[in-house]
Amino acid sequence: MANKEKVLFDNGVHKFIMFSFDDESQEDSYLSVNQYLIVQKNTGVLIDPGSEAIFDELSEAVSKYVPLENIKFIFLSHQDPDVSGSITQWSVSTSAKFIISALWVRFMSHYGFLDMSRIMPLADHGAKINFGDNYLQFVPAHFLHSPGNFSMYDSASKILFSGDIGAAIVNMDDDYKHVQNFDEHKVYLEGFHKRYMGSNKLCRAWVNHVEKLDVEIIAPQHGLLFEGENVRLFLDWLKELECGSDNIDALY
Ligand code: FE
């Protein structure tokens, strides 16, 4: 049984927690899914809460760290069901504002979510918002893979939630959640990134942005964390990656 949660950062007032609840109906696909929670002074920010199938388990786990009514923001990196599928459930159980690319606001009604006043739409260049004594920065990650897509940087923990960037197709059956050896891990990154990510030019634009931030951990929505020197190794790898439209001849 995999360990379902891990505290990645805790300085007494600010915590960053990783959960790994999988949709068990998808067990054979080995696409493990990570959800994250930031808590500062009893106020929470939930990140990519995922599908409806994991809502009960995740909300129970989250409520051990912060009362659900104290969740102020729920960040959705993009529109996919494994990211945003539970928006309706979270809108009922919290009074949080949902932060998502402006491109996807109107699509949320297809998940049964109708109160658009609860959404804070992000313009393409992103935004920076104050959170307690620190800030959260929404970093453009468009076409990596979704056309309206953001990563989120937490200045207090120096953790960058990268969404699908850095996602690996691995089975998270054991307790370790970070990459041990980047060279060995590359094989789990390659297939996914080559097909799902837009192009090398887009990867470079994202890396250039991220290099201006002081990042200690890159935390993706699927697979393992990049810590320490693996942050640099991953960014260098992504900069050189040929993907998406770079391989157009293989697609058409
Ligand atoms: Fe996705």
Distance from residue 41's CA to the centre of ligand 1 (Å): 31
Around ion ligand 1, residues with a beta carbon closer than 5 Å are 80, 164
> CATH classification of 5-251, choosing from 3.30.60.50, 3.40.50.20, 3.60.15.10, 3.40.630.30?
3.60.15.10
CA dist., res. 178 & res. 230, Å (int): 9
Contacts of 60 (CB under 8 A, 6+ apart): none
What does the domain layout of the chain look like in residue ranges?
Answer: 5-251
**pTM of the full structure:** 0.95
Distance from residue 166's CA to the centre of ligand 1 (Å): 12
Distance from residue 144's CA to the centre of ligand 1 (Å): 9
**What's the pLDDT tens digit per position in 120-141?**
999 999 999 999 889 999 999 9
Distance from residue 170's CA to the centre of ligand 1 (Å): 16
Distance from residue 196's CA to the centre of ligand 1 (Å): 9
**What's the pLDDT tens digit per position in 158-193?**
999 999 999 998 876 656 689 999 999 999 999 999
- Could you give the angle at the alpha carbon of 148 between the alpha carbons of 143 and 151, nearest 5°? 80
